[in-house]
Amino acid sequence: MNVIICDDQKDELEHMKQIVSEYADAHSELFMKIKCFSNPFDLLDDINVSGAPDIALLDICMPGILGTEIVQEIRSRGEDITDIIFLTTSSDFAVEAFALHVNDYLTKPYTKERLTDTLDRVIEKRRRRLCVPITSGKEIHLIDLYQVMYIESKNHDAHIYLKSGKNIKTHTALTKLKNLFLDVNGFMTVGASYIINLRCVQSVLQTTILMENGESIPVPRRLRSELKKQYFDFYIKEATGK
């Protein structure tokens, strides 16, 4: 598990590093590799070479760039697989931070126990993820299934639309992808051309589904009642945990 820490204040950086290192020692089964940066642009250079990390602990107010801008850059490269923890002296960026779906926003000074609890929650969340390798041309992408908004079969290819806005095209047949997704709670097929993530449905209309990204997916007449039932049942289950 790759972890990056970035703070332009070296004493704060050392403090974070010590807590995360002690956490890594106590959880040796995670094989945590920790990299520290006092310059945010060095961090971005490292991501260019090594790829997006699993977990990033970031200050927000740093010279030349905000932590929120770093998150946007990581998201664009990492397909939304990086868990973000902000640690900052200011609460002014909380709304903007959570709009980026960060995992936590800790204001300084924070306790070791507070950061450790956050790491526990983030790693437990990662344990529950279901990631699959998808071949796209000569590349292989490791995709978190819950980051998939929907899949469309088009011109003998499958287009996988992610929450990050990225579209991955694969020659993998939709029938094969169904075997990966339909055992995962919250996914269903819509006609012969789509698999949708019910978590990403904004509205169920009379003849179409409106997704969060604004795309409309046509629903065959024979499936409309079943779709509405599955959508309703899914959210009842999500709300009640039953």
145 three-class SS: helix
Provide the pLDDT confidence category of residue 82 given band limits of 50, 70 and 90: confident
Q: Which has the higher per-residue pLDDT, 95 or 104?
A: 104
Overall average pLDDT of the 52-67 stretch: 92
Provide the pLDDT confidence category of residue 103 given band limits of 50, 70 and 90: confident
pLDDT for 196 equals: 93
Query: In this model, does residue 78 exceed pLDDT 60?
Result: no
What global pTM score does this model have?
Answer: 0.60
Q: What is the pLDDT of residues 123-144, one digit of tens each?
A: 988 877 777 888 898 888 888 8
Take residue 178 and report the two structure tokens written for it. 């169904």
Domains parsed from the chain with CATH numbers: 2-127 (3.40.50.2300), 132-240 (2.40.50.1020)
Provide the pLDDT confidence category of residue 4 given band limits of 50, 70 and 90: very high
CB 135 within 8 A of CB 72: no
Buried b (16+ CB within 10 A) or exposed e, 215-240: eebebeeeebeebeebbeebeeeeee
pLDDT for 161 equals: 93
Closest by CA position to 30, among listed 119, 109, 100: 119
pLDDT for 124 equals: 87
